[in-house]
A = this chain, B = another copy of it.
Amino acid sequence: MKRTSIKITSKKLDLQECYNFVEDDSCGGISAFIGTVRNDTQGKEVLQLDFSTYKPMAIKEMQKIADLALEKFPIHKIAIHHAEGMLQIGEIPVIITASSKHRKATFEACEFAIDTLKETVPIWKKEYFSDGEVWVNAHP
């Protein structure tokens, strides 16, 4: 049985698909984190976001996060799906779901996965404003 689902896609991410992957009769709880494109950054209006990836490595790093989450927390399954390409306000760059017999582990696994993804997975976003574009985090 596959306990992880890893995906990078230019299609719309699907919350129900991520839910269905982790759902299991042995589980009492599922947590989900859904990233959404926000319309502002530090008070400045964002028009859209462009996500680029080093795809083969990003897939590997996402897989590592999923495997580590399965080791660290008593979860049953975990899905980590990420979008690439141009996204509009309200669209979904990332979905993470995790299932477990007990709920605590599902929160911990989702939070660990999104925190780690933002640190290690080679994906970059460029913010588009009315007056230009900026690579996020490039000048921290």
Contacts and interface: CB of A to CB of B under 8 A. Distances in A.
Interface residues of A, number: 30
A51 interface: no
Given A107-B110, A110-B107, A31 B32 contact: yes
A84 interface: no
A36 B27 contact: yes
- Identical copies in the complex: 2
Interface of A: 15-16, 19, 23, 25-40, 89-90, 99, 101, 103, 106-107, 110-111, 114
A61 to B, nearest CB: 19
Given A16-B16, A107-B107, A110-B107, A35 B28 contact: yes
B26 A38 contact: yes
